Amino acid sequence: MVNWRPVKFELEVERAYEKHMLERFIPLGRLAMCIGVVSFIGYQAWDMVLDPTAIRKTAPIRIAAVFHFVVVLGLTFLPIVRKNQKCWLFAQVYLYIGYAILFAIILSQLPGGFVAGVGGFILGMIFTPAVTSGALQATGVLVPYVIAALITMALLGGTGFELINLLAWVGGGLGFAVGFAYLLDVMNRRAYQLERLLEIEKKRSDALLLNILPAEIATRLKAEEKEPLVDAHECVSVLFADLSGFTDISRKLSAVELVKLLNDLFSRFDKLAEKHGAEKIKTIGDAYMVAAGLNGSVADHAENVADLALGMQKAFGEFRIQNKVDLKLRIGVHSGAVIAGVIGKQNFSYDLWGDTVNVASRMESEGIPDKIQISAETRQMLPGNYQISFRGEIPIKGHSPRATFFLENHI
C-alpha cells in the first residue's frame, strides 16, 4: 500500500533537509523571477489588444513590476536569504504580494481587464510548489497573495461579479498549487531519505574496504583501474610478529575465548600501526604482518617500523599481564624492495611479494622470543638514537648466513 504521508525526520536531519532544499529553491526561484520579468514586459502586447492606447497607462506599472522582480532577485544573493529558510519565505511572500498588487493595478487600467486578465494571477502560482517545502509553506505564500489581489481589486472598483470570478479562479489555482506542493514534499523527502541511506551505505562500504586495503589502493579499485593493481616499491620496511607458546594455550581455550584473545591483541597492534603510519597487510593465525613506505613518500619507513615494533613489545607486555597468559612475542624486520598488489576477484586481498618479505619472515621465525630482530639493511637505515645490539650471523633459507641485530630501545 502506497503511503502518501511526508517522511518525518529527526530535528537534526530536518535542518539538513531544509538546507538541502533551500539550495534547490534559490536557483528555481531566480528562474521564476526571470520568467516573471520577461512575462511582464511581453504582456504589454496583450494590453495593446485590449486598449490600443494602453502603453502610456500600463507601461509605467509594468516597469515598476519588473523593478520589483529585480529587487527580490537581488535579495536572493544575500547570505541571510540564501541560508535562512524563513528569510527565503519572507522574500517569496513579499514578491507575491507585490505581484498581486501591481498586476491588479494594470488590469484596472484596461477595459474588462478584471475579467480578461484573471488568468494572469493563476500563472503566478505555477512556480510556488517548486520553491516551497510542503503544503504549509505554499499556503503561507499564496494565501496573502490571493488576499492582496482581492483587496486591491476591490479598492480599484472591482464589481461583485469580478471579485467572485477572481476568487473562483485563484481559489482553484490555490488548491492545485497547495496539493501539488504536498505531493512534491512527499517525493522530495523520500528521495532525500534514500540519498541519506545510500550515503550511509557508501560510507559503510568504504570503511569496510579501507579495513582490508590501503586508502590509495581502495581509491584506485573504486575508480575501476585496469587490473591487476600492482606496484613495485624500491624500499619498504616489513615487520612480522608471531606468538610463541600460542599452540599450547589454544588447546586450553574455547574457540570464542581464543578469538577474543587474538582480537584484543591485534586491535592494540592495529592502533599502533595507524599511529606510526604503517599499513597492516594481513594476519595468519597468530602471525601479524605490517609494512611502512608503501605510499612512496615515507623516507623514514625503517624508523617508523622500529617505533612500531617497540610499541608492540610494550603493548604486548600489558596485554600479557591483563590477560594472565604465558605467551611471548617474536618480531622480525627487514627492509628492501617488494611488489605489492591486489589479487583475486572475490574476497580479494592486498599482499606483498619478493625476497624482502621472505627475509622479514625469517627474521621473525629465526628470532628469539620477546626480542625484536632486524636485518643489517634495516640497521643501516636507522638513525643513531636507537639502542641496537649485534646478534651475529644466522642461516637464512635460500641465502648465505646473514648478520642480524636486536633492536632494544630508544637511547
Mean pLDDT of 32-54: 91
* pLDDT over threshold 70, residue 3: no
Which of 275, 315, 309 shows the shortest CA–CA distance to 408? 309
The answer to whether residue 249 scores a pLDDT higher than 90 is no
Categorise residue 224: left if φ over 0, alpha if ψ from -120 to 50, beta otherwise. left
Across the range 32-46, mean pLDDT stands at 92
Q: Where are the alpha helices (DSSP H) in 213-330?
A: 215-222, 246-250, 255-275, 301-323
**pLDDT confidence of 215, banded at 50, 70, 90?**
low
pLDDT in tens, 141-157: 999 999 999 999 999 99
CA-nearest of 215, 252, 236, 250 to 337 is 236
Mean pLDDT value of segment 163-189: 93
| pLDDT of the residue at 397 | 78
Q: Is the pLDDT of residue 346 over 90?
A: no
CA distance 59 to 3: 49
Tell me what the mean pLDDT of segment 124-132 comes to: 91
- Report pLDDT for 30: 95
**CA-to-CA separations, 290 to 331, 335, 343, 346, 355, in angstroms, rounded:** 11, 12, 17, 22, 16
- Amino acid 226: pLDDT: 60
Give the span between the Cα atoms of 142 and 368, in whole angstroms: 83
Residue pLDDT, tens place only, 357-410: 999 999 999 999 999 999 999 999 999 899 999 999 988 877 788 899 999 998
Closest CA to 42 of 27, 59, 29, 56: 59
Which of these, 352, 138, 329, lies nearest to 235 by C-alpha position? 352
Provide DSSP, 216-248: HHHHHHHTTPPSP-EEEEEEEEEEEEEEETHHH
Please name which of 230, 218, 233, 360 lies closest in space to residue 288, comparing C-alpha atoms.
360
Structural domains present in the chain: 11-205 (no CATH), 228-410 (3.30.70.1230)
pLDDT for 52 beyond 70 = yes
Contact 221, 209 (CB under 8 A): yes
Determine the Cα–Cα distance for residues 222 and 211; give it in Å rounded to an integer. 14
